[in-house]
Amino acid sequence: MRGGLQTLCLAALAACIAAAAEPVYDLLLRGGHVIDPKNNISAPMDVAIAGGKIARVAAGIPPAMARRVADVSGLYVVPGLIDMHVHVYAGTGVKGVIAGDQSVYPDGFSFRSGITTMVDAGSAGWRNFADFRQRVIERARTRVLAFLNIAAGGMGPEGEDDPKLLDAEAAARVAREHRDLIVGIKTAHYKGPGWISVERAIEAGKLAGIPVMVDFGYLDDVRNLATLLTEKLRPGDIYTHPYSGHREELLPEGRLNPAMHAGRRRGILFDLGHGAGSFFWYVAVPAFREKFYPDVISTDLHTGSMNAGMKDLTNVMSKVLNLGVPLEEVIRMTTVNPARAIRRPELGRLETGAEADVTVLRLDRGNFGFVDAAGARMHGSQLLVAEMTIRAGRVEWDLNGRAAQDWTTFPYKKGTWRR
């Protein structure tokens, strides 16, 4: 009996060693804490990647099964972050506008803050989207999707006010032509009369079957928040910059405009969109006290915001964390929630077979300062830092070289620049 058991054990061991001889995974993220809100997972687990896809998410995956092992103990392993509001139409050569020098190139700012998917929020319009596509999107390693501006030239020199430029049919046609990239319609910064920009954006959204994101621009006699959120927008449409206070989101007595809650009840989604002028503590603190949290945390990245209070996505996430939102919810607001808002349910999850977009985050505790769009500081005790960013299985950002080999055993090819 005892001998039989021994033989069995040896056979199992031999099988195990045979399996170990040929690693089946390209990369194993080992010892981390997985947060995957889509699947209600928040637990210690390993993540194995093979062929650019998630191969397995489970506790105790043997390290011998992987060609590379990254020790991520003490860290959080989450789906690749989605920044649903950025401006990345760079390289046009146009000065002083978002569709130009105020944009940044995606790869320079995505991976280092844990982002694998960026969604441009209307930098290009229906007349210049093809240029945006070839100039930026197709050259980026970051996955870049876009809201198409209802204004012909997007956020270019012609602006977003002239009714002649706001063409629902043209926008819908371009959105359908580029349906692999265009996830919605945007209207922004409108200071013309009445509801033309919102109505044409919604018309384009209806024609193309996609949601609309509204930066509500400037209020006038007829244009007000209650009408927008309770009559004009459709459930699933997106209101960006809710903590700006520019459109009476916060009433003078310091409580939130009831239209905000009414909009949420109707299914309007709220996108944080920090930017250079759209997130203020004096609005966010009372709003969060009323439990009015964003559905999606985003940066509104451009050259103006990133060097001011906004910084980057992990900084904005840290702000929300320090306002009392649990980490799991902060991850939800940057993974599954934006994936659903842009109707790309295949993104923002860690499931076997999904494209391996994975982010590893460190949560530091200490004394930190967080600056809003006015330059006002709030003290916080928690700071999220992007440790690793993996896009389609490829390590694009690795702050501490966790997936890298130690230099003493690294197979340098001396005399060449290539390893």
Site for Zn ion, rule CB under 5 A? 121, 300
The least distance separating Zn ion from the CB of residue 355, rounded to whole angstroms, comes to 26
Task: Give whichever of 300 and 357 is closer to Zn ion, judged by the CB atom.
Answer: 300
Using a 10 angstrom Cβ sphere, with 0-12 exposed, 13-18 middle and 19 or more buried, the burial of residue 69 is buried
Q: Which is nearer to Zn ion, 160 or 300 (CB)?
A: 300
Q: Which residues fall within 8 angstroms of residue 300, CB to CB, at 6 or more apart?
A: 85, 86, 87, 121, 240, 241, 273, 274, 275, 276, 278, 310
- Give whichever of 121 and 320 is closer to Zn ion, judged by the CB atom: 121
Nearer to Zn ion, 34 or 81 (CB): 81
CA distance 392 to 297: 23
Helix/strand/coil percent split, the chain, to 5: 30, 25, 45
DSSP string for 298-354 = ---BSHHHHTTT---HHHHHHHHHHTT--HHHHHHTTTHHHHHHTT-TTSS---TTS
Question: 149-186: b or e for each residue (b if 16 or more CB lie within 10 Å)?
Answer: bbbbbbbbebbbbeeebbbbebbbebbeebeebbbbbb
- Minimum distance from residue 112 beta carbon to Zn ion (Å): 20
Shortest Å distance, C-beta 198 to Zn ion: 16
**Taking a C-beta distance cutoff of 8 angstroms, is the pair 165, 153 a contact?**
yes
Query: Is the distance from CB of 234 to CB of 201 less than 8 angstroms?
Result: no
Beta strands at 81-86 and 238-240: parallel, antiparallel or unpaired: unpaired
- Give the rounded distance of the alpha carbon of 78 from its chain centre: 12
Nearer to Zn ion, 244 or 318 (CB): 244
Instruction: State how far the Cα of 144 lies from the Cα of 146, in Å rounded to an integer.
Output: 7
Could you tell me the smallest distance in angstroms from the CB atom of residue 237 to Zn ion? 16
Contact 87, 310 (CB under 8 A): no
To Zn ion, the closest distance from the beta carbon of 219 in angstroms equals 18
Nearer to Zn ion, 121 or 146 (CB): 121
Question: Please, what is the minimum distance in Å from the beta carbon of residue 246 to Zn ion?
Answer: 13
Written as six digits, the tokens of 123 are 């930098």
- Residue spans of alpha helices (H) in 73-158: 129-135
Comparing CB distances to Zn ion, the nearer of 300 and 396 is 300
CB closer to Zn ion out of 310 and 350: 310
Least spacing, CB of residue 87 vs Zn ion, in Å? 6
Nearer to Zn ion, 121 or 321 (CB): 121
Q: Cβ of residue 319: shortest distance to Zn ion, in angstroms?
A: 17
Shortest separation between residue 215's beta carbon and Zn ion, angstroms: 6
